[in-house]
Structure formats: C-alpha cells, structure tokens
C-alpha cells in the first residue's frame, strides 16, 4: 500500500519575530510514520521592509474599531474579492517556504492560503494540515484521527465556537483531504475577504461539508504543567501554545510540550 502524502502548511511572515520562532523550534522538513508521509512547508507573502509591516499591522488594528471596522470590512469584501479572482502562482524554495505574490498581513491571508491550497492539489497531496508557528502537532494522534475518518470529503480540525451560529474549524489547525480541498477551491470566488479567513471558509462550507473536531489543548500563561494537564496533552492532536506576553515566548511552552511527548514515545511536528 502506497503512503498517504500529507502537506503541513504553516502560515509564516519573513520578519524577525516569525523567523526567530521558526529557527528556535526545530521541525523536521519530512517525517515518515507508517502509512503517512508528512512534508512541512511555510507559507509567506512578499517580503517587505519593517516600516511596511508596521503599516500593515496598524491597518489590521482598525478591524477592531467599530465604525472603521465596518468600512474596512466592506472595502475588503469588494476590493480583495476582485484582487483574488485569479488564484496566485507560487514559488517553493529549498527551505520549504512557499512564496505567494501578495502582501503579508491578516487581510490577505485568504489570498495567500488559497494559493498554497491550489499548489497542494497540483502536487497531489492526499491531505493538507494547516497550522501556525506556535502549534505543536501530535503526529501519532493525528495519524489515528485521519485513519478513523471517512475519506470521501474531510473538513476537520480545532473547534472554533462562534456567537449565534454553529462552530466552525479554526484556521489555527485545519485539515482537508484532497476532495474537501477541491470543493473549497471551487468556491473560492465566493470567499468573503472582509472577515477572517477561517470564518469565511466556515460560512462557505456550511451545508456542504460537516466539520469534524479533534482533541486539542490550548496552553496559556496559566498552564501549570501538572501531571493531569500533561496527560491531556497526550490525548490531543494539536497543542496551541500562546503566551499572550508582550514579547511572545511561545517557544518555551512549545519546547516543554515537545520534550514531554517525545519522552512518552509520541511523534511530533
């Protein structure tokens, strides 16, 4: 039986904060485990000078101011939809970075990820796993999760509760099989770029693909690493490590989780 190929896609930005975390937390570029072969890629937009990143980040903060948020949302839903009509081509370098020709901010995240998704279908990956730099993936549990799922169409991952509607899958950890991904790509011209991309995808797939949710743990500053909390990690497919400190130190939590899982004979990325 041939191996199932899984692309692990990590959203990335080529600035000091992201680069520092990527270099400190070592991930294998490839990992073979039983009937699955995992390949890790980092998805980046155009590299920009620091001053431009500052402007992009400032514009993003407007999303959370009531009146300006409505204006920005309306603008993005119209302007970015026109810009995104044709899915961008990508370039993949020797370090596993998938470079997309678009600005590198949250407003353009949907455009960036659709380009990576299309490339994955062209490269005939059987599954894609989208995650973040601050996430540890328990490959041993992920394999079990994939094996137990119906492979016809798959849209799964970390549960994201929403007000006044059913939960969707978080962009922090999303799984598609090839059929599910092709369905999403066929709907890409209807994607609402005025909202965060995981919310837009959840709305696109409502009534078309039923989401499946996996076991997860979120580690924040209050996490004490007691025996009971660490046992919960053993049951999780995904562990989100978010420090919420002014200077992000997610790596400290990630490294503790990684060492613990490896010590207990789990494969991790």
Tokens of 245: 């400190």
Q: What is the pLDDT of residue 181?
A: 96
Fold of 4-214: Spore Coat Polysaccharide Biosynthesis Protein SpsA; Chain A (3.90.550)
pLDDT band with cut points at 50, 70 and 90 for residue 35: very high
In this predicted structure, the answer to whether residue 91 has a pLDDT above a threshold of 80 is: yes
Average pLDDT over residues 220-249: 77
In this predicted structure, the answer to whether residue 246 has a pLDDT above a threshold of 60 is: no
Q: Which of 15-24, 157-166, 206-215 has the lowest mean pLDDT?
A: 15-24
Q: What is the pLDDT of residue 243?
A: 64
Q: What is the pLDDT of residue 231?
A: 84
In this predicted structure, the answer to whether residue 141 has a pLDDT above a threshold of 90 is: yes
Q: Per-residue DSSP letters for the chain?
A: -PPEEEEEEEE--SSHHHHHHHHHS---SEEEETTEEEEEEEEE-----HHHHHHHHHHHHGGGSHHHHHHHHHHHHHHHHHHTSSPPPEEE-TTSEEEESS--SGGGHHHHHHHHHHHHHHTT-SEEEEE-TTEEEBHHHHHHHHHHS-SSS-EEEEEEEETTEEEEEEEEEEEEEHHHHHHHHHTGGG--TTS-HHHHHHHHHTTTS--EE--EEEE-TT----HHHHHHHHH-SEEEE---SSS--HHHHHHHHHHHHHHTT--B-
For the chain, the structural domain boundaries read 4-214
Q: What is the pLDDT of residue 43?
A: 94
Cα angle 87, 89, 92; round to 5: 135
Query: For residues 74 and 152, which has the higher predicted lDDT (pLDDT)?
Result: 152
In this predicted structure, the answer to whether residue 1 has a pLDDT above a threshold of 70 is: no
Q: What is the pLDDT of residue 146?
A: 94
Question: Average pLDDT of the chain?
Answer: 86
Q: Which of 49-63, 152-166, 200-214 has the lowest mean pLDDT?
A: 49-63
């Amino acid at each position: 039986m041939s191996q199932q190929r899984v692309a692990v896609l990590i959203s990335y930005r080529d600035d000091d904060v992201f680069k520092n975390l990527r270099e400190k937390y070592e991930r294998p570029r490839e990992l073979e485990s039983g009937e699955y072969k995992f390949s890790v890629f980092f998805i980046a937009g155009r590299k920009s000078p620091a001053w431009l990143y500052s402007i992009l980040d400032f514009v993003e903060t407007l999303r959370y101011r009531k009146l300006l948020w409505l204006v920005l949302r309306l603008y993005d839903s119209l302007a970015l939809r026109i810009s995104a009509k044709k899915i961008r081509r990508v370039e993949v370098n020797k370090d596993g970075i998938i470079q997309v020709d678009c600005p590198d901010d949250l407003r353009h995240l949907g455009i960036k990820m659709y380009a990576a998704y299309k490339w994955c279908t062209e490269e005939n990956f059987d599954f894609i796993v989208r995650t973040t730099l601050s996430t540890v993936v328990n490959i041993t549990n992920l394999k079990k999760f994939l094996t137990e799922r119906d492979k016809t169409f798959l849209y799964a991952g970390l549960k994201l509760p929403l007000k006044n509607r059913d939960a969707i899958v978080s962009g922090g950890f999303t799984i598609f099989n090839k059929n599910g991904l092709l369905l999403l790509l066929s709907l890409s011209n209807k994607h609402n770029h005025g909202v965060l991309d995981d919310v837009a995808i959840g709305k696109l797939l409502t009534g078309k693909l039923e989401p499946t949710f996996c076991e997860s743990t979120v580690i924040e500053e209050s996490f004490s690493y007691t025996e009971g909390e660490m046992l919960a990690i053993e049951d999780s497919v995904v562990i989100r490590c978010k420090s919420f400190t002014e200077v992000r130190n997610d790596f400290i939590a990630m490294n503790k989780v990684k060492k613990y899982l490896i010590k207990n004979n789990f494969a991790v990325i």
